[in-house]
Structure 1
Amino acid sequence: MTETQAPAEFFGFKDSRSVDGTDTRAIPAFVFGEELADLAEQDDRIVVLTADLGRSNRATDFGARHPERFVNVGIAEKNMITTAAGMAASGFVPFAATFGSFAALLCAEQIRTDCAYPNLPVRVLGHHSGMSMGFYGTSHHSLEDLGMMRCIADLTVVCATDANHLRALLRLSLDHPGAMYLRLGRGRDPQVYDVVPDLALGRAETLRDGSDLTIVATGSEVHPALRAAEELARDGITTRVLDMWTISPLDREAVVDAARTTGAVLTVEEANVTGGLGSAVAECLLDAGLAPRFRRHGVPDEHVPVGPPAALYAHYRLDGPGIAAVARELLTKGTTP
């Protein structure tokens, strides 16, 4: 086999587990079309829009069952958000889905001015967020979206943890009065919730309790945070793990209680550490006049290398062992990396 004849899999550029054979019911980025199709059977307000990514996000699952309420606008993401705003103004609850890098970065003005400012019930789904696009590079990495979206007034910002969590978010969003940005991960996020949880906006979920440290994680980093807590437990360190799935509004009470009862707080996010979850928690602690041992952990303020997601997570210590190592540094050295 010559180099020009060799398929992408031969060089390791393509992960066969990410193609059509993957069980789509366990893939958050793929579940939303199926779940919304089910919900739409009883709610005729639901419409779904995508920008030529119906197969990547499985919006086609919705389109197959409700073609009259499915719109593919083509490669026109800004137009998609404005179109969704018009639908919302007409009484619909539109769900507009595209890559997180396009949704938040490319469409920030439309999300702010067309959706949040007039308080319209548009749900923007930014899937394949963080570094999950791997080889596609900086243009497709979505590391700034949490910082950008949470500073938009009247915009609710939430992160899906796994497939069951996403199902709960979609159901919860139906009667939310304003605009919402839903951040989805790579699509193969490990299961954290065995059943669909009962969620309330602005309320963090305590997944594990402890007295030595609190890890405040969101989205794709919740599962590795739990793995880190298990590893720390073997060293006698008990760790509270909070799933801070609502970035805006933040569960300030949970943050304050964690600081007061455990004395050390580590935030973990698959995002730029500037402006995202870590910054939100830091602001909360400062406002409350608290100064626990504290550290923001995520992607440094830099453009990440091109590579497979798993390698990038390990490189930035955003896997279980990496988070555990950062936690030990916090407990022994304080806030200095």
Structure 2
Amino acid sequence: MKAQRDVWADTLVEIGADDPSVVIVDGDLANSTKADKFAAAYPDRFVEVGIAEQNMVGIAFGLTSAGFRPWLSTFGVFLTHRALDPIRMLVSQTQAPVRVAGAYSGLLNGSSGKTHQDIEDLAIMRAMPNMTVLAPVDEIEAAEVTRWASQHGGPVYVRLARDAVRQVLPDDYRFRLGEAVTLRTGGVVALVSTGVQSSRAYEAAELLDEVGLHVRVIHLPTIKPLHVPSFLEAVDGARIVITVEEHSIIGGLGGLVSETLAEQPNRPRVARLGLQDAWSESGPNDFLLDKYGLSPERVAEQVREYLNSADATALSTVGDAA
């Protein structure tokens, strides 16, 4: 398994060999984000700003006016919070081709602690006009998303995790903006997830198989814009849709899915798993995943609890495989 931060950096080094317009603007965290790999390969296209995230955005915006295609590189929380105003004014409103790489996103920041955990970024960035929001699941998709974003002509936010997860996509996978990706077929219960959490949802479905509950798993790598027809096709026939996200249940994936299905006739019931309108806390990664119900075991447990409490009529064929 290869961590997304390594994949992102290695892919940009590869792209940079043929595209001299690719530049990285870093916020004093190149060793953590692995942007230092790009700096070593192309020192004249690496700009170290230091701990000055708002200035990073201004510099990146200026570089676009000279024909460059910059990436911003630092922890996600510093970009979606500390640098939010210049991203809003200089990047989103002007539709500048700045790529915002939010590294160390979500809960799992090792020893960095709760101040560095960002569990609101998807809600913030998807509410911003002109902003494309992407959250790859594994090393295969991280490379694909990096290539796609490097060619895109407008603002992009890419949510990148620190640690590697199990690969769930085939080696020949190709990213298509907005499209839902079915990782597992199943019965009338659909788990919908995004980013690296989709890998854990996949493992949760395997655990549920062991007790006779065959659920489908749908991965949404694009939080914005969602290709609604592909999503509706993926959940077609589902009676219950359960979103699972390493993020607040407010405004992120759960919000996207609820908003989308609310506009459809005969829509399935929706339940949201994630951080329940609460701040996260510092702690070891495995502890945090269990505490907030995001480990495969805890996801499977919560799905079973929800199904046991749901309307029996809606669940009459839950165990049926597709």
Q: Report the TM range for the smaller structure's normalisation.
A: over 0.9
- Deviation (angstroms), 1:234: 1.9
1:133 aligns with 2:102: no
For 1:265, the equivalent position in structure 2 comes to 241
RMSD between aligned residues: 1.6
For 1:7, the equivalent position in structure 2 comes to none
For 2:171, the equivalent position in structure 1 comes to 195
1:33 aligns with 2:9: yes
For 1:68, the equivalent position in structure 2 comes to 44
Q: Is the 8 A contact 2:102 2:159 kept in 1?
A: yes
DSSP 3-state at the match of 1:262:
coil
1:82 aligns with 2:58: yes
For 2:197, the equivalent position in structure 1 comes to 221
Q: Indicate how the Cα distance of structure 1 residues 132 and 278 shifts in structure 2: closer, same or farther if over 3 A, else same.
A: same
> d(CA) in 2 for partners of 1:321 and 1:171?
33
Instruction: Report how many aligned residue pairs link the two structures.
Output: 311
Q: Is the 8 A contact 1:256 1:288 kept in 2?
A: no
For 2:129, the equivalent position in structure 1 comes to 153
For 2:138, the equivalent position in structure 1 comes to 162
Q: What is the correspondence of 1:1-337 to structure 2 with a 5 Å cutoff?
A: 26-195=2-171, 197-334=173-310
Q: Is the 8 A contact 1:168 1:196 kept in 2?
A: no
> d(CA) in 2 for partners of 1:334 and 1:47?
51
Q: Is the 8 A contact 1:293 1:331 kept in 2?
A: no
For 1:8, the equivalent position in structure 2 comes to none
DSSP 3-state at the match of 1:136:
coil
DSSP 3-state at the match of 1:174:
helix
> d(CA) in 1 for partners of 2:163 and 2:139?
9
Q: Is the 8 A contact 1:272 1:298 kept in 2?
A: yes
1:199-239 deviation per Cα after TM superposition (whole angstroms, max 9, x unaligned): 11101211111122111111121111111111112222222
- Deviation (angstroms), 1:78: 1.0
For 2:307, give the aligned amino acid. L
Q: Indicate how the Cα distance of structure 1 residues 290 and 77 shifts in structure 2: closer, same or farther if over 3 A, else same.
A: farther
- Deviation (angstroms), 1:188: 2.3
Deviates more, 1:92-101 or 1:251-260: 251-260
DSSP 3-state at the match of 1:120:
coil
DSSP 3-state at the match of 1:261:
coil
DSSP 3-state at the match of 2:174:
coil
> d(CA) in 2 for partners of 1:31 and 1:196?
16
DSSP 3-state at the match of 1:94:
strand
TM-score by length of 2: 0.92
- Deviation (angstroms), 1:134: 4.8
Q: Indicate how the Cα distance of structure 1 residues 76 and 196 shifts in structure 2: closer, same or farther if over 3 A, else same.
A: farther
Deviates more, 1:229-238 or 1:117-126: 229-238
DSSP 3-state at the match of 1:26:
coil
> d(CA) in 2 for partners of 1:259 and 1:173?
27
DSSP 3-state at the match of 2:289:
helix
Kindly indicate whether structure 1 or structure 2 has the higher relative contact order, using CA contacts under 8 Å at least 6 residues apart.
Answer: 2
Q: Is the 8 A contact 1:126 1:182 kept in 2?
A: yes
